[in-house]
Amino acid sequence: MKLNQAAACGAIALGAICALGTFATTAHAQEAVRIGFITDMSSAYADGDGKDGAIAVQMAIDDFGGKLLGRPMELLSVDHQNKPDIAAAKAREWFDTRNLKMLVGGSNSGAGLAMASVAAEKKFPFFANGAGTSALTNERCTPYTVHYAYDTVAQARGIGSAIADQGGKSWFFLSADYAFGAALEADATRVIQEKGGTVVGVSRHPINAPDFSSNLLQAQNSKAQVLGIANAGGDFINAMKAAREFGVTKSMKVAGFIVFPTDIKSLGLKNTEGLLLVTSWYWDLDEESRAFANRFMAKAKRMPTELHAANYSATMTYLKAATAVNSLDADVVMKHLKSTPQKDFFAKGYIRPDGRYIHDMYLMQVKAPAESKREWDYYKHVATLPGEQVFQSKELSRCGMWK
């Protein structure tokens, strides 16, 4: 009788252990796959990306069915406040405590570099969209970073070449005083010099600069032909307003390196007519772009910028890659990404070993008020710039992963 009781107890215990094991396996299988999104949501760059950038990421998650490899997906998002330490701390926290599997990093190059470092340390894919600095695929490249939308090299080559070809040879830079502005200055200077031009001066300012009067006085006194505005978002808007108020636009041609439709909406077509810019995507490029834009508009009540489109595209690209290799292992997914051509409404191209997504860029010109047919109809297509020509070549790369 005692033996039977012991056997019975053993059977019960074994059953309980099995039940617990089954529960644990099921719980693990259903643990959410978390996608992170960190960007400026409250400051100078919020209009170009911001909270609406999270809407684009969530659209991709929903369009994919809400699950990845049988597990539910969840979006984590936060405002990095243009502070690299906040961006890095949140990315590390999410990986350590929230099962973060992939991160989309938005505007601010300093924050982008900080997130890339955490991604390299923790080994998860990081897609950089709003951060422009070419350092992400040069000396600060990592096996886990994909620089997706644009960078300072492409912007500099696109705008610098176009304006130099129109006769703009002498330049003065008004630049954001951190990694982004420094990279854009350096990359643009190379292009200007290649075209036989010169940079005669630079005036730098902090993010959210309250006043550009002294910067613009320096620009006027330089007698340069071109004012290169190497900032973005709210700073670009305020710099353009001040340039018009001080009469700078009457004596100097203005080159905007990072310009979004939201900037044009804020400034108005009368104040931006004829402005040349380079973009990775525009909502009215083709039918596929318009279809995405209309869906986004229904949710965000505004047309998407190139960053919103890139956020959606990057998320979907990751989800498709993880599904193709049936794995969430970062090294397996990254190997697939760098060996498989990419194509969707945002772009067509490929991801190089250094993490640079090579795709076409577009030279655009802001329309005159009479040319615009409706709200958000701001750009006319001037030229398509092949990715192989505008992004940095392998030969000039400073990324050690090529070796």
pTM: 0.91
Distance from chain centroid for Cα 355: 13
Q: What is the DSSP letter of 129?
A: -
Q: Is pLDDT of 19 > 60?
A: no
Average pLDDT over residues 139-154: 97
Average pLDDT over residues 193-219: 95
Average pLDDT over residues 184-211: 94
**Average pLDDT of the chain to the nearest whole number:** 92
Range of lowest pLDDT (25-29, 101-105, 237-241):
25-29
Q: Is pLDDT of 75 > 90?
A: yes
Average pLDDT over residues 251-266: 95
How far apart (Å, rounded) are the C-alpha atoms in residues 195 and 132?
23
3-state helix, strand, coil in the chain (%, to 5): 50, 20, 30
Amino acid type, 288: E
The pLDDT, as a whole number, for residue 11 is: 41
Contact 156, 187 (CB under 8 A): yes
Tell me, which fold does domain 33-150+287-359 have in CATH? Rossmann fold (3.40.50)
Owner of token pair 């420094």: 182
Strand partners, 261: none
Q: Is pLDDT of 204 > 60?
A: yes
What architecture does CATH give domain 153-284+362-390?
3-Layer(aba) Sandwich (3.40)
Contact 287, 295 (CB under 8 A): no
Pairing of the two strands 357-359 and 348-351? antiparallel
The domain locations on the chain are 33-150+287-359, 153-284+362-390
The pLDDT, as a whole number, for residue 315 is: 98
Question: Distances in Å between the alpha carbon of 108 and those of 129, 177, 187, 275?
Answer: 9, 12, 17, 23
- DSSP character string of 4-42: HHHHHHHHHHHHHHHHHHHHHHHHHHTSPEEEEEEE-SS
Give the containing element (helix H, strand E) for 388. helix 387-390
**Of residues 165 and 353, more confidently modeled:** 353
How far apart (Å, rounded) are the C-alpha atoms in residues 87 and 235?
21
Locate all alpha helices (DSSP H) within 223-305, ordered by sequence: 233-245, 248-251, 261-267, 269-272, 287-300
Contact 53, 37 (CB under 8 A): yes
How far apart (Å, rounded) are the C-alpha atoms in residues 193 and 395?
19
Q: What are phi and psi of 208, to 5 degrees?
A: 60, 45
Give the pLDDT band (50/70/90) at residue 87: very high
The pLDDT, as a whole number, for residue 293 is: 98
For 285-296, the pLDDT digits (tens) are: 999 999 999 999
Average pLDDT over residues 310-325: 98
The pLDDT, as a whole number, for residue 402 is: 83
How far apart (Å, rounded) are the C-alpha atoms in residues 391 and 153?
6
Q: Is pLDDT of 142 > 60?
A: yes
Exposure letters 241-273 (e unless 16+ CB within 10 A, then b): ebbbebebbeebbbbbbbbbbbbbbbbebebbb
Q: What are phi and psi of 43, to 5 degrees?
A: -135, -145
Q: Is pLDDT of 81 > 70?
A: yes
Average pLDDT over residues 54-79: 98
Which token pair is 3? 């033996």
Give the pLDDT band (50/70/90) at residue 5: very low
Average pLDDT over residues 85-110: 97
Q: What are phi and psi of 362, to 5 degrees?
A: -130, 130
Amino acid type, 8: A
Question: Using only C-alpha atoms, what is the Rg of the chain?
Answer: 24
Question: Distances in Å between the alpha carbon of 183 and those of 14, 154, 370?
Answer: 63, 11, 36
Amino acid type, 130: G
Looking at the chain, the whole-number percentage of residues with pLDDT higher than 70 is: 93
The pLDDT, as a whole number, for residue 13 is: 42
CA-nearest of 204, 274, 267, 202 to 233 is 267
Give the pLDDT band (50/70/90) at residue 30: confident
Pairing of the two strands 100-105 and 126-128? parallel
The pLDDT, as a whole number, for residue 403 is: 67
Q: Is pLDDT of 107 > 70?
A: yes
3-state secondary structure (DSSP) of residue 55: helix
